[in-house]
Amino acid sequence: MKKERAVITVIGEDHPGIIAAVTSACAELGINIEDLSQTVVQGLLTMTLIVDITGKELRELQRRLERVAEEQRVKIIAQHEDIFRYMHRI
Amino acid sequence: MLDREEILETLRMILVERLDIRTVTLGVSLKDCASSDIDETCERIEEKLLSVGERLVSEAQALEEKYSIPIVNKRVAVTPVANIISPAVRELGEEEAKEAAVRAALALERAAEKLNVDFIGGFSALVEKGFTRGDEALIDAIPQALNSTQRVCSSVNVASTRAGINMDAVLRMGQVVKRASELDYMNCARLVTFANAPGDNPFMAGAFHGEGEGEAALNVGISGPGVVRAVLEKHSEASLGEVAEVIKRTAFKITRVGELIGRELSKRLSVSFGIVDLSLAPTPFPGDSVAKIIEAMGIERCGAPGSVAALALLVDAVKKGGTMATSYVGGLSGAFIPVSEDAGMAEAAREGAVTVDKLLAMTSVCSVGLDMVVLPAKTSASTVAGLIADEAAIGVMNNKTTGVRVLLAGREGERIELGGLLGYAYVMPVSERSCEAFVKRGGRIPSPIHGHRN
């Protein structure tokens, strides 16, 4: 099966527990995290995670993350990686 | 591995700069729907559209979710209906033939409603050289057809570089615009008169499924004036050569998204992938404006001297960048300069910075023509025909597509609200000198010498 990945981006005011909430949501769905990076500039957090969604439903992950976004009061976007590959690579 | 900066750049384009896929348009052939009976023709049209287009909207929505990018419009384009109703109107009188054509428009409307698409294009006729019975019936029916539908779009091709300009058709279209506007000026937002109309254009009002197209094809129209403007604002000191380079790089990225959506959606619908149309299509939202791109290059107000050159640079750079990003370029590909749909252009028109004459000049280098321009309600059919003839001449002589989509409403300077993505416009003055004797001469203006490239 071809490996499929999604990119999760989290943007919002930094506070304790955001990484924990996002990563536990992934763990609950059995989704492995391959890369994680984050920066906080003047209290604003941007975090990107690259996760393996081979054989999983991206929609299910998106629904789960919508709940996390609401609880943590941040914006979370999960997209299939192809949009980034297409836009920046030939 | 994906680069974090690139991820954030993509997100900024979508979330802040309003990058979206402006339209996915499913072209469907109706050639096998023609019958000598109009009721049967209408039934076949509806049946075919419902079966071919059934999953268009749901699959497009699934892709919106998968990539978190809006696909603003889902549309259908069909074979020019004049060709499909030809056998049915052959034996009918003028009035009955017109009614038959209106019935075909209503069939398109019903199908569009059931498919839940925004618009359906192809209530069209290609008459650059002459009229068939079907063409005449369809053109006569346009005002009533538009007035009794919400989603049907109509286009008529009156000229081509190869055939010249059919001035009889030009005059008739002047009269059609006048009549359709009298019924309700909003009708004319769904009506365009073309020269050199492409058969794979995904944008309305001019989309139709052209001669030579297959059973069905999926065409994609990209967008992104806001993205280009934002990038240019970061390069305010750059030379124009560098500006072109920056636009090319941006157009490449925008187009790649169109290519991705087009490929995947056509696969999901099991139809062939037609083309990506590289047009920058503005919206009334702040900053999502082609006029503002021109202004970001250093023109105080769009329409000032230098505007044609700036637009030419933009269109060429968009094409060069976009061509590298997709396997199939088509449609109109360039930059649209509608007045009402572009808040920057509407404001420039209000101030008198951009005039009908300046717009005509700009259309010699843009991708379409006089688009969403509101002229005074009193404007005569012959003046509209004169403008159509001028636009057609620009298209024919420059071997490019040009079109006219004008609305006749209100008085000069009045603000007209069109609503939604159509925006608003101030009624623009147009010369009141008559061209009636010219447009009523009729006949065909021969094709130019460079039209004969064989």
Tens-place pLDDT, residues B319-361: 999 999 998 999 998 889 999 999 999 999 999 999 999 999 9
For the stretch A13-34, what's the b/e string if a residue is b when 16 or more beta carbons lie within 10 angstroms of its beta carbon? Answer: ebeeebeebbbebbeeeebeee
Contact B257 A87 (CB under 8 A): yes
Q: What does the radius of gyration of chain A's CA atoms come to, in whole angstroms?
A: 13
| Whole-number percent of chain B with pLDDT over 90 | 90
Best A79, A85, A90 member to test B by mutation, with max B CBs in 10 Å, is A79
Average pLDDT, chain A: 94
Residue A90 reports pLDDT greater than 80: no
pTM of the model: 0.94
Half-sphere exposure of B145 (CA within 13 A, CB side): 36
Picking from A58, A77, A81, the nearest residue to B2 by CB comes out as: A81
How distant, in Å, are the alpha carbons of B45, B74, B125, B133, B327 from that of B26?
A: 15, 8, 19, 27, 18
State which residue of chain B sits closest to A75, comparing Cα positions. Answer: B15
- Residue B217 confidence (pLDDT): 97
* Cross-strand bridge partners of residue B119: B75
d(CA B414, CA A34): 59
How distant, in Å, are the alpha carbons of B5, B230, B238, B240, B323 from that of B235?
A: 19, 9, 5, 10, 23
Distance (Å) from the C-alpha of residue A55 to the closest C-alpha of chain B?
Answer: 15
Least confident of A67-71, B15-19, B25-29, B121-125: B15-19
Find, among B95, B106, B91, B101, the residue nearest to B36 by Cα.
B91
d(CA B395, CA B453): 16
| Whole-number percent of chain B with pLDDT over 70 | 100
Q: Is A72 in a helix, a strand, or coil?
A: helix
d(CA B320, CA B298): 22
- Residue B224 confidence (pLDDT): 86
- Residue B302 confidence (pLDDT): 97
* Cross-strand bridge partners of residue B276: B220, B329
d(CA B365, CA B294): 13
Picking from B4, B66, B324, the nearest residue to A58 by CB comes out as: B66
d(CA B292, CA B303): 11
Find, among B331, B344, B418, B436, the residue nearest to B374 by Cα.
B418
- Residue B133 confidence (pLDDT): 96
Q: How confident is the model at residue B16 (pLDDT cuts 50, 70, 90)?
A: confident
Residue A39 reports pLDDT greater than 80: yes
Residue with tokens 């934002």: B230
- Residue B223 confidence (pLDDT): 85
Q: At what angle do helices B94-115 and B133-147 cross, to 10 degrees?
A: 60
Complete domains list, chain A, with CATH: 5-88 (3.30.70.260)
Contact A86 B256 (CB under 8 A): yes
Cβ–Cβ under 8 Å, residues B174 and B389:
no
Cβ–Cβ under 8 Å, residues B170 and B158:
yes
Contact B67 A82 (CB under 8 A): yes
Question: Which residues of chain A have a CB within 8 Å of the CB of B324?
Answer: 90
DSSP label at residue B335: B
* Cross-strand bridge partners of residue B120: B76, B152
Q: Is the dihedral of CA A53, A55, A58, A64 positive or negative?
A: negative
- Residue B2 confidence (pLDDT): 81
- Residue B166 confidence (pLDDT): 98
Picking from B1, B4, B257, the nearest residue to A86 by CB comes out as: B257
ipTM: 0.88
State which residue of chain B sits closest to A10, comparing Cα positions. Answer: B8
Residue B1 reports pLDDT greater than 80: no
Task: Note the Cα A69 to chain centre separation in Å.
Answer: 11
Cβ–Cβ under 8 Å, residues B362 and B335:
no
- Residue B335 confidence (pLDDT): 87
* Model confidence pLDDT, tens digit, residues B377-429: 999 999 999 999 999 999 999 999 999 999 999 999 999 999 988 999 999 99
Q: Is the CATH code 3.20.70.20 the one for domain B25-195?
A: yes
* Model confidence pLDDT, tens digit, residues B280-289: 889 998 889 9
Residue A1 reports pLDDT greater than 80: no
Picking from A37, A85, A90, the nearest residue to B4 by CB comes out as: A37
Residue with tokens 């240019």: B232
State which residue of chain A sits closest to B260, comparing Cα positions. Answer: A86
Contact B1 A86 (CB under 8 A): no
Contact B253 A87 (CB under 8 A): yes
Question: Which residues of chain B have a CB within 8 Å of the CB of A59?
Answer: 65
Amino acid letter at B361? A
State which residue of chain B sits closest to A35, comparing Cα positions. Answer: B1
Q: How confident is the model at residue B367 (pLDDT cuts 50, 70, 90)?
A: confident
Average pLDDT, chain B: 95
Contact A84 B10 (CB under 8 A): yes
Distance (Å) from the C-alpha of residue B67 to the closest C-alpha of chain A?
Answer: 5
Q: How confident is the model at residue B216 (pLDDT cuts 50, 70, 90)?
A: very high
Contact A83 B260 (CB under 8 A): yes
Residue with tokens 């492409």: B198
DSSP B393-449: HHHHHHTS-EEEEEEE-S-TT-EEE--GGG-EEEPPP---S--HHHHTT-SEEPPPG
Find, among B259, B291, B253, B298, the residue nearest to B277 by Cα.
B259
How many residues appear in chain A? Answer: 90
